[in-house]
Amino acid sequence: MRVLVVGSGGREHAIVWKLAQSPDVKEIYCAPGNPGIAQLATCLPIGVTDIVELADFAEKMKVDLTVVGPELPLTLGLVDELSKRRLLAFGPNKLAAELEGSKVFSKAFMRKYDIPTPEAEVCTTRAEAENAVKTLGLPCVFKADGLAAGKGVVIVRDEADRDKALKLFFGERVFGSAGDRVLIERCISGDEVSFMVLCDGERALPLATAKDYKRVFDGDRGPNTGGMGGHSPSVFVDAATAREILIDIVNPTLRGMAEEGRPFRGVLYVGLMLENGMKPYVLEYNVRFGDPETQCMLIRMEDDLLPYLLGSARGKFEEGAKPAWKKEAGAAVVLSAEGYPGPFERGKPIEGIEDATAEDGVFVFHAGTAKSADGKLVTAGGRVLVVAARARGLSGALALAVRGAEKIRFDGKHFRRDMGTKAMEILRERTGSGLS
Ligand code: GLY
């Protein structure tokens, strides 16, 4: 089979890495890819938003399956364009991708289908937003309706934060048309978890649980990022909670989307808050694999990824399909550029990847890297590399990933060392050790 993977991050590198192990995959293309992906696939100079060019390539090269990594091409209708040409694609079509593409749509959808989610109001003016904050109280969360490259969510804890958020959303209008409508949501506290399922329009197959850490600094301090690392299993979601999430959230979502004429195929990633460690509330839906959750999850996947992606794209999983997972835990540590998620410099030479991967169980996925004019590997993004590690027990996997992260060198390298601290406390309470 010929497969085209769309995207250029650590998530897409992990997907390409996993598909390259499939006996049925003969050729992999990636648009646009990155230098790490280029070691496994043919990278193409086509951007993720070049919908017609991507479909032209898939048609010309008789690509058997296109796997769409990021949300933007999904919301722009890449899957629809491919389907129009009778080409198979993994991911939701444009109508179904609105679950992530519009927070106003997804909130209204959850209300209609009785899916637990924090109370919220939709505002289009500053005056409406001021009233919404009064009604909902502080703390609350301002969310731009449309896609904002992971930056459209602002937590408002006090009056100073409120004034800053009002200025950002309604004065400076930093989110452009994505911020034409703003959702103001009651803030709930607890443990934030990611729950990903593969969907074929009707059925959901849960993937291994994973947890990501979004704050840039140790101790969950500093601004939110796309994710500084994570681990799988999540630990925060036990079997009973996973069942509750499936019954109360995932299944009604799939039924509701089908009823709305938007059957959902692809990965449904539900971002949840477990209030008081117990009741799950949906904070957001994403319509693609999480990054870096995918990296720590895929290194644990026992079986071939391809048949699951094909089943989802065709609208029917094989009978009895159920992904199997290695017993070992997976961890991911993101190496970011100094200043990220704010402004950062590019072009810093990177060394030490071979040292890091020399240790058994360590994998390095490229995210924001490029080749310089003289062929050297350099930094080219905020999240530069992801060091993933698989080992016995969560503490072992996390320690191995941190050890790998230490071996890689570039100017301004930053990474978190404390991920999983609370997860390991929970494990210790549960089992009397941090090893499971
Ligand atoms: N790790 C968060 C996300 O993929 O959206």
Whether CATH 3.20.20.60 fits 190-431? no
381 lines ligand 1 (CB under 6 A): no
318 CA to centre of ligand 1 in angstroms: 28
Amino acid 293: pLDDT? 97
The predicted structure's pLDDT at residue 435: 45
CB of 145 sitting under 6 A from ligand 1: no
- What angle do helix axes 103-112 and 251-259 make, rounded to 10 degrees? 100
Ligand 1 centroid to residue 226 C-alpha, Å: 6
CA–centroid distance, 292 to ligand 1, in Å, is 7
CB distance 263 to ligand 1 below 6 Å: no
- Residues of the chain short of pLDDT 70, as ranges, are 276-278, 432-436
CA contacts within 13 A on the Cβ side of 208: 28
In this prediction, residue 434 carries a pLDDT of 44
For residue 94, the CA-to-ligand 1 centroid distance in Å is: 20
CB-ligand 1 contact for 294 (6 Å cutoff): no
C-beta 230 within 6 A of ligand 1: no
Where in the chain are all domains bearing CATH 3.30.1490.20? 119-186
Residue 277 has what pLDDT? 61
How does strand 42-43 pair with strand 65-68? unpaired
Q: How far is the CA of 215 from the centre of ligand 1 (A)?
A: 12
Give CA–CA dist 143/122, Å, rounded: 10
The model's pTM: 0.96
Provide the CATH number for the domain formed by 119-186 in this structure.
3.30.1490.20
Does residue 286 have its Cβ closer than 6 Å to ligand 1?
Answer: yes
Report which protein residue has its CA nearest ligand 1's atom 3.
290
In the prediction, which pLDDT does 432 show? 64
Q: 193, 268, 284, 286: which to mutate for ligand 1, most atoms within 8 A of CB? A: 286
104: CB partners within 8 A, 6+ apart: 122, 145, 181, 183
The answer to whether the CB of 9 is under 6 A from ligand 1 is no
Dist CA 228 CA 334 (whole Å) = 5
Q: Which atom number of ligand 1 is nearest to the Cα of residue 292?
A: 1
What was the pLDDT predicted at 316?
Answer: 98
For ligand 1, what atom is nearest to the CA of residue 150?
A: 5
Please tell me the residue having the least CA distance from ligand 1 atom 5. 290
369 vs 377: CA distance, rounded Å: 7
Per residue in 302-319, pLDDT (tens digit) is: 999 999 999 999 999 999
Domain 2-94 belongs to what topology? Rossmann fold (3.40.50)
Query: Which segments of the chain belong to CATH 3.30.470.20?
Result: 190-431
Is any ligand 1 atom within 6 A of the Cβ of residue 291?
yes
Closest CA to 335 of 394, 403, 399, 416: 416
Ligand 1 centroid – CA 47 distance (Å): 21
The reply to whether ligand 1 has any atom less than 6 angstroms from the CB of 290 is yes
